[in-house]
Amino acid sequence: MNLEKPLGSVIQGSLSQGLEVRLHANVLVEDMRVGKFLVVQGVRSRFFCMLTDVALGTSSQRILANPPEPSNSFLQDVLAGTGTFGTVNLSPMLMFTPTEQSEPASPAKSGKRKKSDSGLASYEANTNAVELSPVKTIPSHFSQVYDAAERDFRAVFGWEDDPHRRNFAIGQPIDMDVPICLDLDRFVERSNGVFGKSGTGKSFLTRLLLSGIIRRRAAVNLIFDMHSEYGWEATREGKQFSTVKGLRQLFPNQVQIYTLDPASTQRRGVRDAQELYISYDQIEVEDLMLVRGELNLSEASLENAIILRNEFGKAWISRLLSMSNEEIQEFCEVKMGSKSSIMALQRKLTRLDDLKYLRPTCPKNYVAQVLESLEAGKHVVVEFGSQSNMLSYMLATNIIARRIHASYVHKAERFLQTKNPSDRPQPLVITIEEAHRFLDAATVRQTIFGTIAREMRKYFVTLLVVDQRPSGIDNEVMSQVGTRITALLNDEKDIEAIFTGVSGGQALRSVLAKLDSKQQALILGHAVPMPVVIRTRAYDESFYAEVGDTPWEELSTETVLLAAEAARADLGL
Phi and psi of 468, rounded to 5°? Answer: -105, -5
Domain extent listing, the chain: 8-157, 195-231+250-276+363-540, 281-355
Q: How confident is the model at residue 85 (pLDDT cuts 50, 70, 90)?
A: confident
pLDDT value at 484 more than 90: yes
- Specify whether the CB–CB gap between 309 and 318 falls below 8 A: no
Provide mean pLDDT across the span 145-159.
Answer: 87
Question: Whole-angstrom Cα distance, residue 567 to residue 573?
Answer: 9
State percent of the chain over pLDDT 90.
29
Q: How many CB atoms lie within 10 A of CB 233?
A: 18
Model pLDDT for residues 232-283, shown as the tens digit of each residue: 888 877 667 788 899 999 999 999 999 999 988 888 888 788 999 999 999 8
DSSP 450: H
Q: How confident is the model at residue 564 (pLDDT cuts 50, 70, 90)?
A: very low
Provide mean pLDDT across the span 213-240.
Answer: 86
* Distance, CA of 130 to chain centre: 30
Domain 195-231+250-276+363-540 architecture? 3-Layer(aba) Sandwich (3.40)
Question: What is the full DSSP assignment across 207-267?
Answer: HHHHHHHHHHT--EEEEEETTS-SSSEEEEPSSS-EEEE-HHHH-TTTEEEEES-HHHHHH
Question: Whole-angstrom Cα distance, residue 321 to residue 246?
Answer: 40
Paired sense of beta strands 358-359 and 192-195, if any: unpaired
Higher pLDDT, 72 or 155: 155
Question: Whole-angstrom Cα distance, residue 380 to residue 272?
Answer: 13
Model pLDDT for residues 303-331, shown as the tens digit of each residue: 989 999 998 998 999 999 888 988 888 88
- What's the confidence (pLDDT) of residue 557? 46
The answer to whether the predicted template modeling score (pTM) of the entire model surpasses 0.85 is no
Higher pLDDT, 175 or 146: 146
- Indicate the SS3 state at residue 55: strand
Q: How many CB atoms lie within 10 A of CB 17?
A: 13
Phi and psi of 180, rounded to 5°? Answer: -105, 120
- Specify whether the CB–CB gap between 281 and 318 falls below 8 A: yes
- Specify whether the CB–CB gap between 219 and 426 falls below 8 A: yes
Query: Within 13 Å, how many C-alpha atoms sit on residue 288's CB side?
Result: 28
- What's the confidence (pLDDT) of residue 558? 44
Provide mean pLDDT across the span 68-83.
Answer: 76
Question: What angle, rounded to 10 degrees, do the helices at 325-335 and 339-349 form?
Answer: 130
220: which strand partners? Answer: 428
- What's the confidence (pLDDT) of residue 572? 44
- Indicate the SS3 state at residue 88: strand
Model pLDDT for residues 388-404, shown as the tens digit of each residue: 788 889 899 989 999 99
- Specify whether the CB–CB gap between 225 and 208 falls below 8 A: no
Over its C-alpha atoms, the chain yields an Rg (Å, rounded) of: 28
- Specify whether the CB–CB gap between 117 and 126 falls below 8 A: yes
pLDDT value at 231 more than 80: yes
